[in-house]
Homo-oligomer: A and B are copies of this chain.
Amino acid sequence: MTDIETILARVDANLPSSLETLFELVRIPSISTDPAYQEPCRKAAEFLAHYLAGFGFDASVRDTTGHPMVVAHHPGHSPDCPHVLFYGHYDVQPVDPLALWSHDPFEPAIREAENGEKIITGRGTSDDKGQLLTFTEAVRALKETKGGLPVRITILFEGEEESGSPSLRPFLEANRQELTADFAMVCDTGMWDAQTPAICASLRGLVGEEITIKAASRDLHSGGYGGVAANPLHVLSDIMAGLHDETGAVTLPGFYDGVDETPSDIKAVWDELEKSQSSFLSDIGLSTPSGEKGRSILELLWARPTAEINGMSGGYTGKGFKTVIAAEAMAKVSFRLVGRQDPQKIRDSFRSFVTSKLPVDCSVEFQAEGASPAIQLAYDSPLLAKAKAALSQEWPKPAIVVGGGGSIPIVGDFQTMLGMESLLVGFSLDDDCVHSPNEKYNLTSFHKGIRSWVRILMAVSDENVPGST
């Protein structure tokens, strides 16, 4: 038996106790958003710290102004081996409406689904208690088999992910040195489907702007002034209409600086995936992708930047009619960013664009909203290649690289505050009912998830994987 086969055999042998740990953790109703569950949250943190200490971690429960963090450290086999920060969260969503659950959400069990699949039922089995344990149980198997770890590991478990993570940034700020590793691993995402593991290599960034166009010093009657007085709603419509050209591309000068074409091998995989996504648009009553022409849905969502109007208002919008020329009109606009697009440059370009389009007598006020760059794990990064190969060995189908259309705050914070890239790998499935009644986690997700992390940790231990490229 090879080294890795020995460890995987240990994972298999450990499964009953892995499940027992998961069950114990799920039984703790650590609902972070409800103050009535403050004690269970602390109990879950203490359970995890005790559990990690049980196989050699220097683990502690760390107070915050909200629910506590769990931080744990384990050295690697040598001082120069890679250092991994693993992130997960022990808090769960509320369980209302309880009547819709087939079983007690806090009494986990292995049951058989309608499709014959074995599933672990209960709140948090998938999001994120089951997922975080796939990582730690892999570490336990490694430790039990080899007596040490191939990588240095720092663990950060949060208890407020389901309630906006208010304590996270201050905690990262205050413990920057302790928490900074070579890269982060996060197990809070999903598989493409039950056969196909996925690595999320990109998340779009975001820049928001609220703009207000002003013209006359007061609202005017359109009988007395229509045709003569500048109408801010026309000016705003003109400017908004000018944000895109006829191909759907964004017209802001320099907008596509730092936007790379997706490698053709990745694109080819996405094109294949898209064939299985026929209901993506029909589910929301649409038939055809809008946006940049000539690009697939998945490319548009994962690898292309956007300009979107999120809100617009001005003049009279109530029932009936008022023949008013409004003194001002407002729009909220956001840009989803990819690659190396610079949020500040995008903001500046937008403001210059708007200002350049202003007719005489009109003025504009800008209000900056959030600005975060895109997250992009380089497609040629060794970390990605190793994780992909490792996952592909474990699952029936090869691992694929996907993206995310929105942002995951923790990943942005790791990048901007701690300078770390994140490897996002997870084993949840679309039908896991996370945040809903009857949450479940497939037994296969749990078992092969643990085995997957063993393979990934062994793979990345080969050499010190570089962080950013």
Give chain A's interface residues, CB within 8 Å of chain B: 204, 206, 208, 210, 215-218, 220-231, 233-234, 236-238, 240-244, 281, 284-292, 297, 300-301, 304-306, 308-317, 320-326, 329-332, 334, 336, 359-361, 369-370, 404-407
Contact = CB atoms under 8 A, between A and B. Distances in A.
A208 to B, nearest CB: 5
B308 A231 contact: yes
Contacts of A226: 204, 301, 306, 308, 334, 336, 405
Nearest to A218: B284
B241 A306 contact: no
Given A233-B309, A241-B237, A321-B310, A361 B225 contact: no
**Of A221, A228, A240, A305, most B-chain CB atoms within 10 Å:** A228
A238 B244 CA distance: 10
Contact of A286 (B216, B290, B320, B405): B216
Given A237-B240, A322-B310, A228 B289 contact: yes
Contact of A224 (B217, B234, B301, B329): B301
Contacts of A223: 204, 206, 336, 404-407
Copies of this chain, whole number = 2
28 contacts: A204-B223, A208-B321, A218-B285, A221-B406, A223-B405, A224-B405, A225-B405, A227-B291, A227-B304, A228-B289, A228-B290, A228-B291, A228-B301, A229-B290, A231-B308, A233-B240, A233-B331, A234-B241, A237-B238, A237-B240, A287-B361, A290-B359, A308-B323, A309-B315, A310-B315, A311-B314, A312-B329, A321-B369
Contacts of A289: 228-229
A206 B323 contact: yes
Contact of A322 (B301, B311, B320): B311
A323 B310 contact: yes
- What 8 A-B pairs come out closest when comparing CB atoms? A223-B406, A217-B285, A241-B241, A311-B315, A237-B240, A233-B309, A227-B306, A227-B291
Nearest to A315: B311
A227 B336 contact: yes
A314 B301 CA distance: 23
A309 B234 contact: yes
A312 B225 contact: no
A332 B82 CA distance: 62
A242 B285 CA distance: 26
Given A222-B334, A284-B216, A300-B228, A369 B237 contact: no
A329 to B, nearest CB: 7
A230 B290 contact: yes
Tell which of A221, A242, A334, A360 has the most Cβ of chain B within 10 Å: A334
Contacts of A309: 231, 233-234, 237, 314-315
A313 B313 CA distance: 4
B336 A306 contact: no
Given A227-B405, A234-B309, 17 more contacts: A204-B223, A206-B223, A218-B285, A222-B308, A223-B404, A227-B306, A228-B290, A230-B290, A236-B312, A237-B241, A237-B312, A238-B241, A309-B315, A310-B315, A310-B324, A310-B326, A312-B314
A369 B292 CA distance: 36
A236 B237 CA distance: 8
Given A208-B321, A334-B321, A286 B369 contact: no
A435 to B, nearest CB: 14
Contacts of A290: 227-231, 359, 361
A218 to B, nearest CB: 7
A312 B233 CA distance: 7
